[in-house]
Amino acid sequence: MPDVAIGLVAIAVSIGLIAYGVPIGLALGLCALVGIAIVAGPPVALAMLKTAPYELAANWEFSAIPMFILMGTVAFHSGMTQSLFRAGRLWLGFLPGGLAVATNYACAGFGAASGSSLATTIAMCRLTVPEMRRYGYDPGLATGVVAAAGTLGSMIPPSVLMVIFGIFAEVSIPKLFLAGIVPGVLTAAVYSLMIVVRCRANPSLAPAPDTTEDPNEKWRALAEIWPLPLLILAVIGSIYTGVATATEAGALGTVTALLIALARRTLTWKILYDSLLDSLINTAAIFFIAVGAVLLTRLLSFCGVPAFLTDIMLQWSVDPLLLILATAVLYLILGCLLDPLGMIFLTLPIIIPMYQALDVNLIWLGVLVVKFVEIGLMTPPVGMNVFAVKTLNPDIPISVIFKGVSWFLLCELAILAALIAFPQMTLLFV
């Protein structure tokens, strides 16, 4: 069997194993090791197994991932995020669907602190869905907005997925962070507009609260959200001014979160323990998948798969737009089968050489890839954000949640079209 065919078979078998339920890191790693043993011999496969995990863990830029995860867990466990929804409810409750709009922006704020879509969805679901249901909101709207707005954690910087993309594509992670600002803000704004329009057209979706809030309480609630803006400013400001690299900014953000928790007297030994434990579990899961992806990347390199696919694309004279549309279809399909990390680690070694051959701006590509992954988090049958919401709301049928999310998927298609048609929006601050 030709080497290229071995690489392609390894990709297909990996996807099949993952779809069957085999852990992603194990599926990628096993297929890669078997393929390398066939192509280069068992000693080379064993040598790769010995060196790849160390080289990955020793990568300085990868240390940004556990730092950003720890920053988010400290912010959540110390209660920094709880005031977001309360402030949003008091200030935006007068709008049609005001609680859903408040949830949308609270998710954007928490996502900016956590860098993780799933963490954002779980944290905000616990806080906001019971409140919306108490006010008589439609269950599909209440759960759909959390599942959809939770994906903003992948786009609004700092973003773990952007760190991973930057490492694989060898592009500036700070520039990727800055490129995510406009798409993230645009997504939150379009979501809010859609909620208001829907609820104005159909008031039964979101009955207006019958309580009158004290204006002074609104200002007090707004004053209580100061920890998250300060945390975001510490991270983004240090990167934008050149004071810190992305990795250093992750460490700075973690220290800032700990200092804020100390200042608010909410940092206890239990909260520190829970934050560290959550960070260790999430980091270990990410690195386990990353090791399998690195091994698969080595196999594909040995087999010449990236060069083979790039040559095919060039022979077909594929222009960047057609390649982007093909990539969108690829991620839409994989989004039905894999989780975000599985999609990222499986596809980047394949698609990045193609875009490099066509001289496409990889910063722009990184934002599009994250947007594709965001959509994958909402699409059936996997839709990790949807199932996270379902787990926390077992009495709501999964079909109701997916129906609520479908309105946000339509918004995502419009946003994606705008980002492709007007790349300068993405590169505005780069």
Alpha-carbon span 178 to 187, nearest angstrom: 15
Q: What is the pLDDT of residue 337?
A: 60
Q: At what angle do helices 139-149 and 181-201 cross, to 10 degrees?
A: 170
Q: At what angle do helices 398-421 and 139-149 cross, to 10 degrees?
A: 40
Q: If you search the block for the tokens 């949003």, which residue do you land on? A: 88
For the chain, the residue count is 430
Q: What is the pLDDT of residue 248?
A: 83
Alpha-carbon span 370 to 366, nearest angstrom: 6
Q: What is the pLDDT of residue 208?
A: 77
Q: What is the pLDDT of residue 284?
A: 84
C-alpha distances in Å from residue 261, one per residue of 121, 123, 204, 213, 243? 22, 18, 40, 28, 23
Alpha-carbon span 43 to 342, nearest angstrom: 27
C-beta separation of 289 from 296 below 8 A: no
Q: What is the pLDDT of residue 197?
A: 95
Domain residue ranges of the chain, discontinuous segments joined by +: 64-267+382-426
Q: What is the pLDDT of residue 73?
A: 82
Q: What is the DSSP string of 43-64?
A: HHHHHHHHHHHHHHHT-GGGGH
Alpha-carbon span 389 to 147, nearest angstrom: 6
C-beta separation of 111 from 156 below 8 A: yes
C-beta separation of 158 from 249 below 8 A: yes
Alpha-carbon span 334 to 348, nearest angstrom: 13
pTM of whole model > 0.85? no
Q: What is the pLDDT of residue 127?
A: 77
Q: What is the pLDDT of residue 1?
A: 59
C-beta separation of 286 from 23 below 8 A: no
111 sits in the region (left: phi over 0; alpha: psi -120 to 50; else beta) called alpha
Query: What is the sign, positive or negative, of the torsion defined by CA atoms of 284, 288, 291, 297?
Result: negative
Alpha-carbon span 46 to 229, nearest angstrom: 48
Alpha-carbon span 115 to 193, nearest angstrom: 24
Give me 251's structure tokens. 């460490």
The one-letter amino acid at 269: W
Residue ranges for the chain with pLDDT beneath 50: 317
C-beta separation of 111 from 153 below 8 A: yes
Close Cβ partners of 70 (under 8 Å, ≥ 6 residues apart): 254, 257, 275, 276, 279
C-beta separation of 187 from 155 below 8 A: yes
C-beta separation of 113 from 225 below 8 A: no
C-alpha distances in Å from residue 174, one per residue of 230, 243, 247, 374, 430? 18, 11, 10, 20, 9
Give me 410's structure tokens. 């339509």
Q: What is the pLDDT of residue 146?
A: 93
Query: What is the sign, positive or negative, of the torsion defined by CA atoms of 377, 380, 382, 388?
Result: positive
Other Cβ atoms within 10 Å of 40 Cβ, number = 17
